[in-house]
Amino acid sequence: MKRIAEALVRDQSLALLTDLYQLTMVYGYWKSGLASRHAVFHLNFRKWPFKGGYAIAAGLETAVKFIEKFHFSDTDLEYLESLQDSKGQKLFEPKFLEFLNRFQFECDLDAMPEGTAVFPYEPLIRVKGPIWQAQLLESPLLNIVNFQTLIATKAARICMAAGSDPVIEFGMRRAQGIDGAISASRAAYIGGCAGTSDVIAGKLFDIPVRGTHAHSWVMAFEDEAEAFKTFGEIMPKNCVFLVDTYNSLAGTRKACAVARSLKNRGFELAGVRLDSGDLARLSIEIRKILDEEGFPSAQIMASNELDEYLIRDLKQQGAKITLWGVGTNLVTGKDQPALDGVYKLSAIQGVDGKWQYKLKLSEQTVKVTNPGMLQVRRFFNGTHYEGDAIYDEWLGISSPCEVIDPSDTNHQPKFDQGGEDLLVPIFRNGKKVYHSPSLHDCRSLCLRELKRLPPSVERFTNPQPYLAGLEKKLYEKKLKLIAAARGE
């Protein structure tokens, strides 16, 4: 896979894709002698996106490519050297910049494969290594993983509403900038979309590209039929006519007449597209026209501000749409524009080399972090996933595994040993050890995961919360650390 950054800025360094406070903290670690201490950080989110019951992990391969190319270029260091503090003095001393110039990635990194179903507080990524290096990854990892996970999740919901009908991602023109468009196309494909209109995403990631024509094509001709005929002659094997420029039903009849006139020249009418009006009523009437005119295999494609709720409603109303073009609401995650992912320290080595558990307290329970070297074990009954246990690798996992339900701590279900650990090794001592799957494989994993989720978890409205809790030994350890931190 080619790196997005390489396509956009050639081979320039992206080390400065970060927040300033990451660099000032790294400067502080270096200055105070803490830089060589090892630490553990985890990336997770706290709330179900779109008020749903699950999320789909995405962005890992982009993050891997970012890390593999990570270095501070001469121009990066020159820029950092130019920064000043509030007194007009240099913000960073030269020896620190020399330290950055010698950067060699040394961390271990584990992550959930892209396409994996994931739930609040479960680590999507775990980083263990020199604290200054792990700290530097916070902002870029959140930038990459938060957005792609959000869009992959939205795509999975939309594709679930569409059922067996293909969904094409149509959102490039409304996406937030160049990389927003490219990353959204990539994530949407992982989430289940069958293709994209974004040609550069097709090139970069081998995503099937699809497209029809715009209203401007029809308006450029004196007659709608002439527009269809000309387009059909140019694209005889890839032709979907946009029929709603003037009148959707009349446009469909003209499309059929043109299709018949070109039939002896090898033309095939793949379908028609609707971009406005009452999509349910019009699609039903258009289906009748297509069938009566001898085009029963021609598809009806719909676009126009679609999302999972509208697609679900249209299907319930008997719409005859069989191909969905979804744009703005998908690539922007319109009803939730950001995933609330966080990246938190959970352990650090003391001067004696022993690991010290760390957690962050808060008056808001949802913001109290989990300590330790976390892993997630998922239990499967052969049909559906039963639950997940977040456990600490240093404490080990109980047998049978007892999980504390976060929604009701009195509910502590037990699972026989077995299950699958979800975080897999990506880097060891800074070297990549992971064989990156193709994007098609990530999409296949997502589709398999969705089939294994309990149906009640997949509801759009009031889904049943999936059991993803702390393993009992970790839960008890956390309670002791909270009590100690509060001086109890």
Q: Residue 104: inside a domain, yes or no? A: yes
462 and 365 in one domain? Answer: yes
**Counted domains in the chain:** 2
290 shares its domain with 405: no
Task: Give the angle subtended at the CA of 182 by the CAs of 181 and 188, to the nearest 5°.
Answer: 85
**Buried b or exposed e, range 168-199, using 16+ CB within 10 angstroms:** bbbbbebbeeebbbbbbbbbbbbbbbbbbbbe
- The pLDDT of residue 7 is 43
CATH number at residue 405: 3.20.140.10
Same domain? 120 vs 239: no
Q: Identify whether 181 is part of a domain.
A: no
Q: Give the pLDDT mean for 302-318.
A: 97
Does residue 134 register a pLDDT over 70? yes
Tens-digit pLDDT profile for residues 332-343 = 999 999 999 999
One domain for residues 98 and 217 = no
Mean pLDDT of 425-429: 98
The single-letter code of the amino acid at 271 is G
Give the mean model confidence (pLDDT) for residues 305-330: 97
Q: Is the pLDDT of residue 5 over 50?
A: no
In the predicted model, what is the mean pLDDT of the chain? Answer: 95
Position 413 in a domain: yes
State whether 10 and 120 are in the same domain.
Answer: yes
Same domain, 286 and 388: no
pLDDT at 11: 53
Report how far residue 467's alpha carbon sits from residue 386's, in angstroms, rounded to the nearest whole number. Answer: 7
CATH of the domain at 296: 3.20.20.70
Instruction: Check residue 1 and give its pLDDT.
Output: 43
Same domain, 8 and 136: yes
Residue 304: Cβ-neighbour burial (10 angstroms; 0-12, 13-18, 19+)? middle
Q: Which of 276, 311, 346 is the last residue of a domain?
A: 311
Could you write out the three-class secondary structure of the chain?
Answer: CCCHHHHHHCCCCCCCCCCHHHHHHHHHHHHHCCCCCEEEEEEEECCCHHHCCCEECCCHHHHHHHHHCCCCCHHHHHHHHHCECCCCCECCCHHHHHHHHCCCCCCEEEECCCCCEECCCCCCEEEEEEHHHHHHCHHHHHHHHHHHHHHHHHHHHHHHHHCCCCEEECCHHHCCHHHHHHHHHHHHHHCCCCEECCHHHHHHHCCCECCCCCHHHHHCCCCHHHHHHHHHHHCCCCEEEECCCCCHHHHHHHHHHHHHHCHHHCCCEEEEEECCCCHHHHHHHHHHHHHHCCCCCCEEEECCCCCHHHHHHHHHCCCCCCEEEECHHHHCCCCCCCCCEEEEEEEEECCCCCEEECCCCCCCHHHCCCCCCEEEEEEECCCCEEEEEEEECCCCCCCCEEEECCCCCCCCCEECCCCEECCEEEEECCEECCCCCCHHHHHHHHHHHHHHCCHHHHCCCCCCCCCEEEEHHHHHHHHHHHHHHCCC
* Containing structural domain, residue 290: 212-311
Query: Residue 342 has which token pair?
Result: 């966080």
Euclidean distance between the first and the last CA atom of the chain, given in angstroms as a whole number:
52
One domain, residues 481 and 340: yes
pTM of this prediction? 0.95
Whose CA is closest to 345, among 41, 127, 132?
41
Q: How far apart are CA 89 and CA 23, in angstroms?
A: 16
Q: Which of 276-280, 373-377, 416-420 has the lowest mean pLDDT?
A: 416-420
Query: Is 346 found in the same domain as 292?
Result: no
- Judgement on whether residues 138 and 234 belong to the same structural domain of the protein: no
Same domain, 459 and 406: yes
196 within domain boundaries: no
Per-residue pLDDT of 223-254, as tens digits, reads 999 999 999 999 998 899 999 999 999 999 99
Length in residues, the chain: 488
Residues of the chain above pLDDT 70, percent: 98
With beta carbons less than 8 A apart as the criterion, state whether 461 and 337 touch: no
* Confidence (pLDDT) at 446: 98
Give the pLDDT confidence of 429-471 residue by residue, as tens digits.
999 999 999 999 999 999 999 999 999 999 999 999 999 999 9
Kindly give the pairing relationship between strand 323-326 and strand 341-349. unpaired
Tokens 């001086």 locate to 487
Q: In sequence order, what are the residues at sequence separation of 6 or more whose Cβ sits closer than 8 angstroms to the Cβ of residue 109? A: 67, 125, 126, 127, 128, 425, 426, 427
Point out the domain boundary residue: 274, 295, 311: 311
Place of tokens 């999972």: 308
Q: Name the pLDDT band for 12 (thresholds 50, 70, 90).
A: low
In a domain, 347, yes or no: yes
Residues 481 and 368 in one domain: yes
% of the chain beyond a pLDDT of 90: 92
In a domain? residue 349: yes
> How does pLDDT run across 254-282, given as a tens digit for each residue?
999 999 999 888 899 999 999 999 999 99
pLDDT of 192 higher than 60: yes
Please tell me the distance from the alpha carbon of residue 130 to that of residue 179, in angstroms, as a whole number.
30
Enumerate the β-bridge partners of residue 44: 342
317: region left, alpha or beta (phi > 0 left; psi from -120 to 50 alpha): alpha
* Residue 200 included in any domain: no
440 neighbors 208 (Cβ within 8 angstroms): no
- Which of 311, 328, 348 is a domain's end point? 311
Strand order in the sheet with 355-357: 355-357, 341-349, 38-45, 125-130, 108-111, 424-428, 431-432
pLDDT class for 10, splitting at 50, 70, 90? Answer: very low
Query: Could you tell me if residue 206 is inside a domain?
Result: no
